[in-house]
Structure 1
Amino acid sequence: MPEQLYGIRHHGPGSARAVVAALAEQRPDILLVEGPPEAEELLRWVADERLEPPVALLGYATDDPRRAGFWPFAVFSPEWQAIRWAVEHGVPVRFFDLPYAYRLAEPQPDAGAEPSDDPEPGDRPELNDGPNTNGRPEPSGGPGPSGGPDPIGGPEPGSAPGAEAGPEAEAGTDDPPPRRPVDPIAELAAAAGYDDPERWWEDVVEHRGAPAFTAIAEAMTAIRDGAPEDPDDLLREAHMRTVLRQVRRSHDNIAVVCGAWHVPALARKVPASADNALLKGRRKAKVTFTWVPWTYGRLASWQGYAAGVRSPGWYHHLFTSENEVVVRWLVAAAGVLREEGVPASSAHVIEAARLAETLATLRGRPLAGLTELTDASAAVLCEGDPLRLELIGRRLVVGERLGGVPDDMPAVPLARDLAAQQRTLRLKPEALERPLDLDLRRDNDLARSRLLHRLRMLGVPWGELDQRQRSTGTFREQWRLRWQPEFAVRLVEASAHGTTVVSAATAAVATAAREADSLAEVTALVEVCLLADLTDAYPPVLRALDTRAALDADVAHLMAAIPPLVRTLRYGDVRRSELGGLSSVTTGLLARVRAGLPAAVSALAEEAARELRGHLDAVHAAVNLLDDDPRERWLDTLASVADRDDLHGLLAGRLVRLLHDAGRLERAEVRRRMGLPLTAGVAPADGAAWVEGFLGGGGLLLVHDDALLSLVDEWLAAVPADSFTEVLPLLRRTFGSFAAGERRAIGDRVAHRGAAVDRRPTADLDHDRAAAVLPTLGILLGREIR
């Protein structure tokens, strides 16, 4: 009997059910599936229950793992269900698409481009279409239950996310492959009188049972007859026909599962010589394949995956729910809301179900689809709240489900070591973002922290530190964890550094230290060694630190390097890390800063003075964490510099404040020094800069010291009218940085002082004019004035 060609829509639950039913009726001797032939040996794993979709085949160039592609599968993917049926019934399965090795051997469009270190949706490793291809522009219209541009046929392997058909695009490539000009589903929907292709597909296929493969093949033939051909499709289909001819020699009962777009080409009578001529002379690259976990979020078409579906969670529900699809969906939606504390009763579910079915009837649809369920949920369950509806969309419509692969799945040693550590530390990868609060005094939490920091050094940011909570001076760390499928590619790339996480991270740090161009880069690596506990990386990092510090004469650069080094010294014992010779390096840097600071502070412009003030604050805060001897030497240096006459006001005021806070200057001396720049003979802008330098960072000193407050108040009152507009923005910048409570307290003190001052007779006072300034004065003082 001739082979049976089953043209399907990739990731379509209706197609998945139809294919399984057709295979059960045909009972073929062999099954051919659109997919990369190099991955055939991995098909046996489909029978393993531990291989839990969504999963993806990961293929990459053996000599350059950055060139990689994915072939994702969901439980509702027709190819996945066909392969499972064949494996369970002992039917041989072959992938017969164009080998991925051909794609990787082709010249790259951006061969000279540097790959991105942190790929965005448009430049992460490619989503190859193999089994999940899609090659048409996304149809217009609102969100629908099905997906993507053209789910029934697609581009060849190697397409980047968002790409359609065309040459394989390397990760980091900015030029998207060309798109096919035809959207077959849109063509068929328009012929049926639908303005929304997704609604047409849902009505005709998903809600009406198994599709008619013969009818779909005839429709595709009619569309392709009038459409321009894609050269990449012609190449792929030539290879498919070649494999089909080979299989016919040994099998009579053949089943073929492929994108419906390819069915007319496979049924067409084409001479073998023509296909051979098209394939002749093509080179192959060496490629490696494995299974990796995937997520429904990455299966969504809005993530840029051309063959993706807009609503993976909804399709999963359609495929796995045998009956009561509408009610079960609304029950799940109510459960999502209740988990967030939103009341959703059974009455809500009943009313929403009635509304969804009524909407389907009014709209002439056979059954309520996702559009009707969304409208009903918005009106009844969510009571018009868009945030609640968004929550349902994220949890159910997309459904961030993460697949799983067996522990003994072939993988690079680095990935296997990471999987072992994840099991040991009870740190399971998850698709949804979740917080992780670590107490570094606990051995397991400390080991988790080290693992997450090591992975970040390898370019696998599984965890992101919450910067709002981060403090290396405490025993706690707060992370946000979210596993991304592309991390599998990063692990393959990082395996060039080592076979375990710790050895690879150590080698990566050592390499980064040798290649660092600045002192700041090397200093950051010292903290990495501490946080990730990379003891063996300290020697090369410290050597690089010595070299960079010796070559860098810029005091600002040296000052910027000290705070992270001091934090590392101070909190190394918290993380139980060996710090080696870091103490001597830090002491040497601090000595160089003390020696170079007098020359660095002289005759600076405002921008340079502001930058140096920031470095002074950071170094001063860091030195306070050291022992008494280096701290006292640092204060001696500040005291000697503070007496100079050529300091910018920002620096002069800041040095006085630091010495005052350290107990080196009495209040009387502080008042004397403040009085010097606030005298009548000094330019108001210089006085304002001194006040900003002195008060920057907090105004409690003015709240508790009447004399200082009086100095500032009297100086401000004496500023000439023609200079006030120049001084006011500077003072607003200073006082605006204070906390609201500090500003209010200062305003109260000023008002109290004003009430105690002898007032002159007010017989000639224009009360109306005076009242006009009270609102502005109240804003400046932080209190209501009546």
Structure 2
Amino acid sequence: MAHIFGIRHLSPASSLHLCAYLEQKHPAYILIEGPSDCNDMIEDITQDQLQPPFAIMAYTTSSPIHSILYPYAKYSPEYVAMKWAKAHNIPCAFMDLPTSAFLSLDTKDDTRQDYEIDLDMDANDQWERIFEHETNSDAFQKAVTFFAHNLREIKPADEFTLLRESYMNTTIQKLIKQGIHEDDIVVVCGAFHIEGIMEAKVLPDAQYEKLQKDISNITLMPYSYFRLSSLSGYGAGNKAPAYYELLWDYAKDGHMEQCAYAYLSKLSLYQREHGFNCSTAQVIEALQLAQSLSAMHQEQIPSLQDLKDAAITCMGYGNQAELMEAFMACEIGTTMGYLPKGMSKTAIQNDFYTQLKTLKLERFNTMNANTLALDLRENTSVKSEASAFLDLRRSCFLHQLRFLNIPFCVLQPNTQQSADWKEIWELKWSSEAEITLIENSLYGESVAYAAQFSIKQKLADATNMNACATLMEEAFLCGLNDSMSHALEAIQKLAIDSSSFEDIVKTAKRLSYIMRFHTLRRMENDAIEPLFHQLFYRAILLCVSSCQCDDKVSHSIMEGLKTINDLSIQHDHYMEEEWIQVLNELSLRDDINQLLSGYATAILLERGLLKEDEFQRIVIYHVSHGVPVDIAANWFEGFMMKNHYALIARSFIWKQLDDYIQELEDDDFLRALLYLRRAFSMYSAKEKHEIAQNLGSLWHLDQDSVAEILNTELKKEEQDLLNELEDFDFGDF
């Protein structure tokens, strides 16, 4: 049988002793636990320009997409073995089941066990003390093999693991049949698999070849230490990848004990850089305490837990919270891998990184969140067109990523409503962003093509104009003229039969946005304007009939009225005469929902289109004795939803309301109370205070005293009574 060296994935000690083992055996061939259909990637993986951590990602070639990751750190034994093989000009290959076998299982069964040595915090500390600090290679190998033997007895392998081990043994035997002596082969695999490989049966050729079916694509991607840490949920990771890299760097140079000095120094540096006091004397005291703690465990080198306990005592004044951020930075950190240009195996990855370089966004490709402010206007202080519209091109690219749900960028809310030329983005790389990017390779060879394809797919499924207009707006933000044209065609087809007031208004609003800002974003507009005018006119024609509705839909219709009013103003008072005629009709008619009638009146008042005597006549008509309380209160609620201060300043309104309420019977008063309570809930405390002052003046009382009483918080029993009234059926009266 070939020489088998058992490892724990992501273990610096495994890598250290594996190097010594390889130097001792100097094999003619190295086989490594890893997907056998990724052998052609080993050449790229071992390039000097590649910087770990990185991952091999395999994913299915059809939707729904399933993927699997094989991450590696600088100190991963598999990666160290590949680098050793290249340095010594010795061939090496992966020997585990191909990725297709794992992906096939993933699509059918999620019950496969993971036999990586998974340890809790206390067990990790013991692992480090017993294994990571071991300096004798023979002792390490024997201890790991014995540990794996006991683990296998406690947790027997499942059928899939046995299949993997048979496949690996078959790969070994095929290599021997090719003429390589078994003594010249070193096998690197998880220690759990040592016995399984040695005892596994060789697979028949037919079964061996059947497992090699091709249903997946494979690519390389950068990875991060956060993803490798236990905090990310990755089972085969370790809790402190940055610390273990530090341990690896000193161990391979023969100075493992200096890792403790370096770790405490890094903690101290972090504390000082972030405004905390941390002297050299405290670092020395912490080191001495850590060494004493390790001696109590009969260890010569402090473990990470020893170092942390000592740091808390000597540098954190006994308070763990004082050092939590420093622990995170020094144990996990923000290290992210790097792949040379062209090494990624999907075109969309290459396009992404090319775009980052072209758009000068490479500095934002980090684990730390960074803010990017964009000014979409032309920069007239530069000479080239590319530089003049750099921020606009950045915006289009970032919107494409956002639309594809690639979590590299997040658009922040615009707090300056008038600054439509300004965008604020938060950019942050994550492995999830890379994975999502790769998954989108099924939709196009570039980010733009993928966004275009996705828009086309969603347009095919859209069933109303607003859905198509939403996609048209997305295409507009993404800078995709062709997609905008396709969306416009879809809207025009649906517009023929559409009679939904809300759908028409929402669509017109989105078209308006594109019309108003097409110059800023340098997009075409000619075909949009005629459709906007058509929809706007249809919306006005449908207004009155749409307002003949019940309370369930009245608020959505009200939003439509607000939108039409806004659009009319934004487009140079477009069709203002027709719109004002509709508002006047709504303010006077009795056969429409009175909430909407009141709202239409409020719009007329806000726009200064009601003379005072007309205004008073309308108010008296809707809020006067003889008008049912439901109708009057509903009208008043809609009326109060526009310019608050325009209403507060008119004392006539409050006198008319006061006279009306005074005449109500007790039962009607309770009913009106609910409407008024809901209406006034939209007013600020300052506005309520001014209304109360108006009432005080009306009642010939001290205004401030009335305001104080009326704005006093309700007692609990009073509040409970109002809550009960909300659910009361007044139809029983």
**TM-score interval w.r.t. the shorter chain?**
0.7 to 0.9
- 1:65·1:489 contact (CA, 8 Å) conserved in 2? no
- 1:686-697 residue pairs with structure 2 within 5 A? 686-696=631-641
Of residues 178, 183, 196, the one that matches 2:122 is 196
Report the equivalent of 1:658.
Answer: 603
| One-letter amino acid of the structure 1 residue matched with residue 214 of structure 2 | A
Partner Cα distance (2:29, 2:69) in 1:
25
Task: Please state whether the residue corresponding to 2:431 is helix, strand or coil.
Answer: coil
Structure 1 residues 754, 478: closer, same or farther in 2, change over 3 A? farther
Partner Cα distance (1:710, 1:532) in 2:
54
- 1:529-678 residue pairs with structure 2 within 5 A? 529-602=475-548, 604-678=549-623
Report the equivalent of 1:107.
Answer: none
| One-letter amino acid of the structure 2 residue matched with residue 235 of structure 1 | L
1:319 offset after TM fit, Å? 2.8
Report the equivalent of 2:191.
Answer: 260
| One-letter amino acid of the structure 2 residue matched with residue 295 of structure 1 | S
1:349 offset after TM fit, Å? 4.9
1:639 offset after TM fit, Å? 2.4
Partner Cα distance (1:556, 1:240) in 2:
63
Partner Cα distance (2:526, 2:162) in 1:
63
Structure 1 residues 575, 223: closer, same or farther in 2, change over 3 A? closer
Of residues 201, 204, 224, the one that matches 2:152 is 224
Could you give the per-residue CA deviations for residues 384-432 of structure 1, whole angstroms, max 9, x where no partner exists? 8887655445544433332111102153333222221110111122233
Structure 1 residues 780, 655: closer, same or farther in 2, change over 3 A? farther
Structure 1 residues 215, 494: closer, same or farther in 2, change over 3 A? closer
- 2:408·2:428 contact (CA, 8 Å) conserved in 1? yes
Root-mean-square deviation (CA), in Å? 3.5
Could you give the per-residue CA deviations for residues 679-710 of structure 1, whole angstroms, max 9, x where no partner exists? 23333343332232122256323443333344
Partner Cα distance (1:59, 1:267) in 2:
28
- 1:17·1:210 contact (CA, 8 Å) conserved in 2? no
Could you give the per-residue CA deviations for residues 35-91 of structure 1, whole angstroms, max 9, x where no partner exists? 112211211123323211111112234566923322111112121122122222222
| One-letter amino acid of the structure 1 residue matched with residue 367 of structure 2 | A
Structure 1 residues 372, 642: closer, same or farther in 2, change over 3 A? farther
| One-letter amino acid of the structure 1 residue matched with residue 619 of structure 2 | M
Could you give the per-residue CA deviations for residues 350-380 of structure 1, whole angstroms, max 9, x where no partner exists? 5655665666667777654444555566667
Task: Please state whether the residue corresponding to 2:496 is helix, strand or coil.
Answer: helix
Task: Please state whether the residue corresponding to 1:168 is helix, strand or coil.
Answer: helix
| One-letter amino acid of the structure 2 residue matched with residue 244 of structure 1 | I
Report the equivalent of 1:451.
Answer: 397
| One-letter amino acid of the structure 1 residue matched with residue 629 of structure 2 | P
Report the equivalent of 1:733.
Answer: 678
- 1:193-592 residue pairs with structure 2 within 5 A? 196-209=122-135, 212-225=140-153, 227-248=155-176, 249-251=179-181, 252-268=183-199, 272=202, 279=208, 281-282=210-211, 284-320=213-249, 324-336=258-270, 349=283, 367-374=301-308, 391-392=325-326, 394-428=328-362, 429-441=365-377, 442=379, 443-467=389-413, 469=415, 474-592=420-538
Structure 1 residues 471, 505: closer, same or farther in 2, change over 3 A? farther
Gaps of 5+ in 2: 251-255, 380-388, 716-733
- 2:407·2:432 contact (CA, 8 Å) conserved in 1? no
Q: Does 1:708 align with 2:653?
A: yes
| One-letter amino acid of the structure 2 residue matched with residue 196 of structure 1 | D
Partner Cα distance (2:451, 2:427) in 1:
19
- 1:32·1:96 contact (CA, 8 Å) conserved in 2? yes
| One-letter amino acid of the structure 1 residue matched with residue 356 of structure 2 | Q
TM-score by length of 2: 0.85
1:574 offset after TM fit, Å? 1.7
| One-letter amino acid of the structure 2 residue matched with residue 536 of structure 1 | D
Deviates more, 1:377-386 or 1:407-416: 377-386
1:263 offset after TM fit, Å? 1.0
Structure 1 residues 365, 626: closer, same or farther in 2, change over 3 A? farther
Structure 1 residues 221, 370: closer, same or farther in 2, change over 3 A? closer
- 2:689·2:711 contact (CA, 8 Å) conserved in 1? no
Partner Cα distance (1:350, 1:623) in 2:
74
Question: Greater helix share, 1 or 2?
Answer: 2
Could you give the per-residue CA deviations for residues 487-523 of structure 1, whole angstroms, max 9, x where no partner exists? 4454444344443333333333233223312222101
1:569 offset after TM fit, Å? 0.9
Structure 1 residues 340, 479: closer, same or farther in 2, change over 3 A? farther
1:22 offset after TM fit, Å? 2.5
Report the equivalent of 1:132.
Answer: none
Task: Please state whether the residue corresponding to 2:675 is helix, strand or coil.
Answer: helix
Structure 1 residues 356, 670: closer, same or farther in 2, change over 3 A? farther
| One-letter amino acid of the structure 1 residue matched with residue 180 of structure 2 | S
| One-letter amino acid of the structure 2 residue matched with residue 666 of structure 1 | K
Structure 1 residues 80, 713: closer, same or farther in 2, change over 3 A? farther
Partner Cα distance (2:19, 2:645) in 1:
75
Q: Does 1:9 align with 2:12?
A: no
1:300 offset after TM fit, Å? 3.1
Could you give the per-residue CA deviations for residues 309-338 of structure 1, whole angstroms, max 9, x where no partner exists? 233333334334555434533443455455
Task: Please state whether the residue corresponding to 1:778 is helix, strand or coil.
Answer: coil
Partner Cα distance (1:696, 1:357) in 2:
71
Report the equivalent of 1:779.
Answer: 713
- 1:57·1:290 contact (CA, 8 Å) conserved in 2? yes
- 2:225·2:242 contact (CA, 8 Å) conserved in 1? yes
Partner Cα distance (2:612, 2:150) in 1:
92
Structure 1 residues 521, 214: closer, same or farther in 2, change over 3 A? same
Partner Cα distance (1:383, 1:587) in 2:
71
| One-letter amino acid of the structure 2 residue matched with residue 14 of structure 1 | A
Task: Please state whether the residue corresponding to 1:232 is helix, strand or coil.
Answer: helix
1:237 offset after TM fit, Å? 0.9
Partner Cα distance (1:385, 1:549) in 2:
66
Structure 1 residues 556, 62: closer, same or farther in 2, change over 3 A? closer
Which structure has more relative contact order (CA 8 Å, sep 6+)? It is 1
| One-letter amino acid of the structure 1 residue matched with residue 194 of structure 2 | V
- 1:538·1:579 contact (CA, 8 Å) conserved in 2? no
